[in-house]
Structure 1
Amino acid sequence: FFAEEAYIADLDSKSGASLKLTILNKKGRIWTMVAGGGASVIYSDTICDLGGAKELANYGEYSGAPSEQQTYEYAKTILGLMTQEKHPEGKVLIIGGGIANFTNVAATFRGIITALIEFRERLIEHNIKLFVRRAGPNYQEGLRRMREVGRTLGIPLYVFGPETHMTSIVGMALGTRPIPKELSVDTATANFALPSGEKDSNKQCQSAQQGTAKAVRSPVVDSRNGRVSQGDAKATQMFTNKTKSIVWGMQNRAVQSMLDFDFVCRRTEPSVVAIIYPFTGDHKQKFYWGHKEILIPVYKQMKDAMTKHPDADVLVNFASLRSAYSSTMETMEFPQIRTIAIIAEGIPENYTRKLIKMANEKNVSIIGPATVGGLKPGCFKIGNTGGMMDNILHSKLYRPGSVAYVSRSGGMSNELNNIVSKATDGVYEGVAIGGDRYPGTTFMDHIMRYQADDNIKMIVLLGEVGGVEEYEVCKALQEKKITKPLVAWCIGTCAGMFTSEVQFGHAGSCANSNKETATAKNEALKAAGAYVPDSFDYLGDVIQNVYEQLVKQGIIVPAPEVPPPTVPMDYSWARELGLIRKPASFMTSICDERGQELIYAGMPISDVLQKNVGIGGVISLLWFQRCLPPYCCKFFEMCLMVTADHGPAVSGAHNTIVCARAGKDLVSSLVSGLLTIGDRFGGALDGAAKMFSEAYDKGMHPAEFVNHMRNKGQLIMGIGHRVKSINNPDQRVKIVKEFVMSNFPATPLLQYALEVEKITTSKKPNLILNVDGVIACAFVDMLRNCGSFTSEEAQEYVNIGAINSLFVLGRSIGFIGHYMDQRRLKQGLYRHPWDDISYVLPEQYNGGN
C-alpha cells in the first residue's frame, strides 16, 4: 500500500466526490487520470488491448464533480508519481473521460491546469506527453484552456473533444494511431432560444417530419397501453410520447431536465405530473416549460399522488439507499405503475432480491438500482439521463433513430449516445440497467423488447466483467430468438492483466470465475454471432459498418434530418459559462464563502484562527480589508472593553431592559437599545473626530477652537461628563490614553485634544476629554499614522462613520448582558411610577380655573 494511495483514499473519505488510485507499476510509462468509473475501466482496457499492459502504471478515477482543490490534489499526486524516476522512452499521461452529465468540465480542469503549471520543469525534464479527451457541459472552454496551457508551458499536449472517439487518444499515446491536427469544435455550448424564434423552429420541425414520413412509415402508438404496431409486429413499450411519471424526492434539477427534454422533443405536455416528498406538506413547485413557468404539485403521501394522477404509469425513485426499498415496495401497491426506476446505489442485495420478486409478481419493470435510468428520444427520459441540453442536442436525442442499446454503466450512456449518433442515424432507446449484482431488469429483458419492436433495426450491448447475464444473450443468439444485428462489448478486459487486485466501480463488476471475465464473455458473444470489436476503441467503427450494411440492404432508410430545436438555457448556467453578463445586485470586497473555506479579506479562516489574530484582527480584516499592526488590533479590543457597558441608567441599556421585561426577544431588545445611539448618547465619536481633526487641519490654536465653538453656540463633541471631572478622572480615559501614547507612532490629534481639555477644564472641571473624545482622536491618529492608509483613505473612514462603529459593537455586548440579566432575574413588565412623572396639562383642562 503506497503512501500516495493512502493520501487519495483519505481525500476520498472526506469528499462527496469519488477519488480512487491504485498504483500498478511505479516504473511504468503510461499513466492515466480519468473522469468516471466506467470510463476509467475502458481506458485501462484499451491500453491493455493495444499492448500497453506492462507499462500501465496506475488505475483510478476522479468523478462526482470534485472541487478545484480536490482535482488539483489528485493531479498533483499523479504528476508527483510520474516524475519520481525517468523512463528512456519518456512517459505519457492520458487525461480522459466520457461525456459528463452535469460536471462543469472547465471548472474541473482548473485544478489540473494548476498542477501542470506547478510541475512544468519536471514534465519537460521527464519528457512527458499529455493526451486529453473530454466532453460535457462547458467542455469547449475547458479544452481551450488546456490547449492554451500546452502552448504556454511548451510541453506536448494534444486536446480533443466529443468529435473524437473516447479512447482514440490511447492509440495516439501508444503510437498505434496517428495524431491528427486540431479539429474544429463548436465554440458555443447550447442553442439559445429567443421567444420569437420558437414558432419558426416548430414550422421547420413540422416540414422535416413531413419529409420523414415519405421515407419511412411511422409507427402507430396507442398511448393507453403503450403498444406499438407496424405490420404484424407488436411489442410492449416502456415509454411513449404520452408517458406520464411521478418523481419520488425533491430533485428539482432532475425534474427540470426531464421537462426540458420533453420540450425539446416537442411533447404536447410535461412528462412529470407530480412529485412525492414526505418531508414537507402538500404544495406546488415552480418549473420551466420552455420559456413559460408551470407549477407541479408536490404530495406528502404517495396515495394522494396516485389517486389524483391515475394516468401516471412510471415512478422515478430518487430516494436514498435507506428508504428506496420501502418507497419502492409502497409504489408497487398501486397497479397503475408499470415501470419503476431506482436511482440509489448501495441497497442491500437481499432487499433488492425482494424487490425483484415483488416486481415479477406485480408485472412491474424495474430499472436499477444504481442506475442513471434510460431515455427514448422524442418520448421520455428518466431523471438526469443524457445530461444537460448540450449533450442531448449534440447526440440528436430529440428525435428517434434506428439503434437501441442496453448498458450496465450509466456513466457510459452519454458516450454510447455520442457514438451511436455519429455512426448511425441515432438512438431509438437506451437503458442503463444499473451496476448492482442484481438488476431489476436484465440485458435480455430489454433486448427482447428491442427485438420485438419493428422500429429498432439494430441493438448495441455494453456489458462488463462480473456476472453471467451476457451468456443468456449468447443463448438467445444461437437459438435465433435475437435476429437483429447485435453489436456487443464487455468492459473490464484489463482485469486479467493486473498483477494487483483492483476493485472497479460497480458492485457487480467482479469476476468470481473465468467465465465471468470480460474476455471470456466477448469471445462467447462473438462465437454466438454478435458483432464484437477487438477493443472498445473500435466499437464505433463496428457499429457504423453494421449500420451501413443495413442501409445498403434497405432495412434502414435514412430520414431527412430534423433541425435541432431552439431551447432556453437557464440563466445561472449561461452566466457561469460567461455567455451573458448582468450587473450584480450586491458587491462585496471583505468576505468570500464560496470556496473550500471562508475567506476574510483574503485570509482563510483557518489562518485567522491559527495565527490568533483575535477580535481586533478580525475587525481590521472585515472593516479595513487588511491586517493592521498588532497595536491597532489591541486598540480595537481595548475600545470594545471600555465601551461595553456604562450601567443600566443610560439610554440604551434602559431601553434594552424595558424591552426585555416586556417579554421581547433578544434581537428586538438589542435593537431597541441600539436605536438610542446618536449625537446625545454614544454617537459623539464621529462628531468628535470631525470637529477636532478639522480644527487641527486648519491650524487653529486650541484656544481659538474653543472660542470659535462657543461663538457658534455649539458644544464640543468628546468634551464633558455628567459625573467625572478633572478631580475625579475617568479611569477608562486614562487607560486608553496611556496605551495610545506608549504604542502609537504619532498622536498629534490626541495631543491637540488634551490641550483643548486644559482650556475647557479651567472654565469648568467636568469639561474633560471623555471616553468618546479620546477614542475618536486616537482612532484618527491611528488611521493617519499607522502606515496602512493613504490620507484620502483615512479621511474617508472618518466620513463614513467608521469610528462610531467601535461604540456600537462594544455597547452591543453590554446590551446583550442586560437582556440576559433581566431574563435570568425573571423581571416582570416595567411600568414607570407615577410619582416620577410630572403631569403638566393645558390650563383649560385643569378644572375650569
Structure 2
Amino acid sequence: MATGQLFSKTTQALFYNYKQLPIQRMLDFDFLCRRETPSIAGIINPGSEGFQKLFFGQEEIAIPVHLGIEAACAAHPTADVFINFASFRSAAASSMAALKQPTIRVVVIIAEGVPESDTKQLVAYAKANNKVVIGPATVGGIQAGAFKIGDTAGTIDNIIHCKLYRPGSVGFVSKSGGMSSELYNTIARVTDGIYEGIAIGGDVFPGSTLSDHVLRFNNIPQVKMVVVLGELGGRDEYSLVEALQQGKINKPVVAWVSGTCARLFKSEVQFGHAGAKSGGEMESAQAKNQALRDAGAVVPTSYEAFEGAIKETFEKLVEAGKITPVKEVVPPQIPEDLNTAIKSGKVRAPTHIITTICDERGEEPCYAGVPIFSLVEQGLGVGDVISLLWFKRSLPRYCSRFIEICIMLCADHGPCVSGAHNTIVTSRAGKDVVSCLVSGLLTIGPRFGGAIDDAARYFKDAYDRGLTPYEFVEGMKKKGIRVAGIGHRYQNLK
C-alpha cells in the first residue's frame, strides 16, 4: 500500500467502459478546480476506437478511445489511475490486466458483486507490487481541488456546497459511498473541509482498508485530522485500533461505527453492504466503537453527536495553532448545457430548419405546391417527389428516372461496398472502361466489403499458428478487431 498522497492536480486517469455522465462530471470538477489539463487522458472501450467529444468548461475536447488496456497505457504513459466501470463479470480480469501495466499505480473498481476469491487475488498482486486497489463496490474518492473519481460526491451543486473545489484540512475514509457524500457536507459545515476522501467499498474483502488510508493520511502534511466512518460486520476497524495502540497515528482521529441499531432486532440483520453483517459480538458496532474509544480515537455517543465531535476536535486544533483554516475561494461558473438551460426557461434558441418545400395546411399535404393526390393520380414515382422537394419544380422524366437509379444503386450496395457503386456511376456518366474500373479500385480500403488484403493477412496468420476457426474468431473478438472479408453488419458472431 502506498504511504502518502495518491492524487494531485496533475493526476490523469484511464476510464474503462465508456460512461458519459461520470466522465463529464470528472471534467466539470477539473474545470471547477481550475486544472490546466483534463483528468481523463483516455477511454478504453473494447470493440470501438476513435474519439469521444466532451466538455472541459466551455471548450469541447476530443478524448481518445482505445480498444484495449495495453494500447491505452502505451498511448498515455503518464496516466497512472485506472477507473474501472466494467460489470462484475469482467471487472476482476480487466483490473488485473491494468495492475500488470507498469504505468498504472491505482485501480478503482466500481462494480458490486465481484467474487471474493478474485478480489483476494487482486489485493495480493497489488500488495506484492506496491499498488493500490480501491473497491470493489465503491464510488471511488476525491482529492479536493485536484482530482475526482467518477460519480464521487454527486452533482456539481453538491460539490460546491461541500467546498470540494479547494483543499481543506481533513482526511476522510468510509466504507459507504452514499454516506461519504453526507459526511463531506457535514465536515464542510464544521471545519474548513476535506483534503482527501476515500470510500473503500462495502464488500467483505475490500481492496484497501480503513486503516490503510488512515495511515496514508498520517503521512500527508496537509491533513491535520482524520474522520472515519465504519460499519458493523468484519474486523477492519480493529486494524485501526491496533495502529492507534502502537502509536502509528499521531493525528486526531474522530470515528463512528454505524449499525448500533442492530441490537434492537431479535434476529441477525443484513444491512445494504455485503460486509455489513455482524458475525458476533466483536463485529458489532458497539464493540468496535468501544475499542476505538479505548485506543484513543474520539468516538461520540451516537451518529447524531458525530458532527459535534468533528467540530470540537477541529476547533481545538485551530486554538492550538495546528490548523490555519483554509481561506475561501470563489469557484468558476460551470457553463450550463443548452438542453438543460432551454428546459429551465433560461434561454431561447432559434429554429435551425425552416421548410419551404412542404406545406401541410389545407385538405392534403403539398410538395412545392403540388398536392400529394395528384402525384399518385399521375403515377409519378420517388424521383418525381424528390425533384419537387429538392428543386421545387417537376423535372423531366429522364431526370427523375436518373435520381431513382442513384437511389437504387445506393440502397443495393451501401457505403461499405462503394467500389462497385462508383464504377456504375462513372459508367452512367459516359466515361471509358478504364476510368470506370479505376474509380472503383481507388475506393477499395479497409472498410470495403472485400477487404482482400486484410482478410488474407489475418487468415494466413491464424493458419500459421494452427488456430481453429473458433479460436481465430474468439481471438479477434477479444482484440476488438472485426473479421475482414465480411462486409455486411449482420454477418458477425454475436
Note whether the superposition's TM-score is higher than 0.5: yes
Structure 1 Cα separation of the partners of residues 78 and 51 of structure 2: 19
**2:308 is matched with which residue?**
541
Matched residues in 2 for 1:269 and 1:433: separation? 27
SS in 2 for 1:246: strand
SS class of match (1:411): helix
Aligned residues: 363
SS at match of 1:236: coil
CA contact (8 A) 1:435 1:509 kept: yes
Look at both structures and tell me which one has the larger radius of gyration over its CA atoms.
1
Corresponding residue of 2:281: 514
**Could you tell me whether the CA contact under 8 Å between 1:316 and 1:341 is conserved in 2?**
yes
Matched, 1:414 2:181: yes
Residue equivalent to 2:170: 403
Partner of 2:25: 257
Corresponding residue for 1:97?
none
Name 1:493's counterpart in structure 2: 260
Query: Using a 3 Å threshold, how does the CA distance of structure 1 residues 676 and 340 change in structure 2: closer, same or farther?
Result: farther
Residue in 2 aligned with 1:103?
A: none
Equivalent-residue separation in structure 1 for 2:228 and 2:239 (angstroms): 12
**What are the residue-to-residue correspondences of 1:302-701 with 2, within 5 Å?**
302-577=69-344, 579-580=346-347, 582=349, 678-680=376-378
Segments of 5+ residues of structure 1 without an aligned counterpart are 1-226, 228-234, 587-673, 683-849
Could you list the runs of 5+ residues in structure 2 that have no partner in the other structure? 354-371, 381-494
Per-residue deviation, 1:522: 0.9
Q: 2:41 aligns with which of 273, 280, 290?
A: 273
Q: CA deviation at 1:579?
A: 4.5
Q: Secondary structure at the match of 2:113?
A: coil
Pair 1:241-2:16 in alignment: no
Q: Per-residue deviation at 1:300?
A: 0.6
Structural mapping, 1:32-431, within 5 Å: 236-280=4-48, 282-431=49-198
Deviation at 1:488, TM superposition (A): 0.3
With over 3 angstroms needed to count, the CA separation of the structure-2 counterparts of 1:305 and 1:518, relative to structure 1, is same
| CA distance in structure 2 between the partners assigned to 1:492 and 1:268 by the alignment | 43
CA contact (8 A) 2:268 2:278 kept: no
Q: Against the structure 1 CA distance between its residues 522 and 581, is the aligned structure 2 distance closer, same or farther, given a 3 Å change threshold?
A: farther
One-letter amino acid of the structure 1 residue matched with residue 44 of structure 2 = I
Q: Aligned ranges for residues 808-847 of structure 1 at < 5 Å?
A: none
Deviates more, 1:566-575 or 1:450-459: 566-575
Query: Judging changes above 3 Å, is the alpha-carbon distance between structure 1 residues 305 and 675 closer, same or farther for their aligned structure 2 residues?
Result: farther
The residue identity in structure 2 corresponding to 1:296 is I
Displacement of 1:370:
0.2
1:581: Cα distance to partner?
Answer: 5.2
Q: Which amino acid aligns with 2:326?
A: A
Deviation at 1:567, TM superposition (A): 1.6
SS of equivalent residue, structure 2 residue 121: helix
- Find the residue that maps to 1:429 and give its secondary structure: strand
Which residues of 2 match residues 795-814 of structure 1 at below 5 A? none
CA RMSD for the aligned pairs? 2.2
Contact 2:269/2:278 (<8 A) preserved: no
- Residue deviations 1:559-610 (CA, integer Å, cap 9, x gap): 3211222221223344455544557889xxxxxxxxxxxxxxxxxxxxxxxx
Q: Distance in 2 between matches of 1:489 and 1:481?
A: 20
Amino acid corresponding to residue 532 of structure 1 in structure 2: V
Q: Is the Cα–Cα contact under 8 Å of residues 269 and 277 in structure 2 kept in the other structure? A: no
Number of the residue aligned with 2:364: none
CA distance in 2, matches of 1:306, 1:334: 7
Name the counterpart of 2:461.
none
TM-score (norm 2): 0.70
Which residue identity lines up with residue 232 of structure 2 in the other structure? V
Q: Using CA pairs under 8 Å that are at least 6 residues apart, name the structure with larger relative contact order, 1 or 2.
A: 2
Deviation at 1:362, TM superposition (A): 1.9
Aligned pairs for 1:715-730 within 5 A: none
Q: Between the two proteins, what is the percent identity of the paired residues?
A: 48
Superposed displacement of residue 242, structure 1: 0.9
Alignment CA distance shift 1:348-1:576 (3 Å): farther
Change (3 A) 1:573 1:496: farther
Q: Shift of the alpha carbon at 1:532?
A: 1.0
Contact 1:248 1:316 in 2 (8 A): yes
Report the secondary structure of 2:177's partner residue.
coil
Q: Deviations over 1:291-341 (max 9, x none)?
A: 010000000121111111111110000000011011011112211100000
SS at match of 1:400: coil
Q: Equivalent residue for 2:454?
A: none
Contact 2:52-2:64 at 8 Å conserved across structures: yes
TM-score, normalisation: structure 1: 0.41
Other structure's SS at 1:419 match: helix
2:107 is paired with a residue of what secondary structure? strand
Kindly tell me: are residues 424 and 324 of structure 1, through their superposed partners in 2, closer, same or farther at Cα, counting changes over 3 Å?
A: same
The answer (yes or no) to whether the contact 1:396–1:564 under 8 Å persists in 2 is no
Q: CA separation in 2, counterparts of 1:253 and 1:356? A: 29
Per the alignment, do residues 583 and 302 of structure 1 end up closer, same or farther by CA in structure 2, a change over 3 Å counting?
same
Q: Which amino acid aligns with 1:454?
A: P
Cα separation, partners in 2 of 1:279 and 1:542, compared to 1, 3 Å = same
* Deviation at residue 423 of structure 1 after TM alignment: 0.6
Mapped partners of 1:561, 1:441: distance in 2: 32
The answer to whether the 8 A contact 1:371-1:433 is kept is: yes
Whether the 8 Å contact between 2:98 and 2:104 is mirrored in structure 1 is yes
Distance 1:361-1:416 versus aligned 2 partners, 3 A rule = same
Deviating above 6 A after TM superposition, structure 1's stretches of 4 or more consecutive aligned residues are: 583-586
- Partners in 1 of 2:168 and 2:295 — Cα distance? 26
Q: Report the Cα distance in structure 2 between the residues aligned to 1:317 and 1:584, rounded to whole angstroms.
A: 41
Q: Return the alpha-carbon distance in structure 1 between the equivalents of residues 336 and 254 of structure 2.
A: 36
Measure the CA separation in 1 of the matches of 2:146 and 2:373. Answer: 62
Which amino acid in 2 is paired with 1:433?
Answer: I
SS at match of 1:399: coil
Question: CA offsets, 1:85-123, max 9 Å, x none?
Answer: xxxxxxxxxxxxxxxxxxxxxxxxxxxxxxxxxxxxxxx
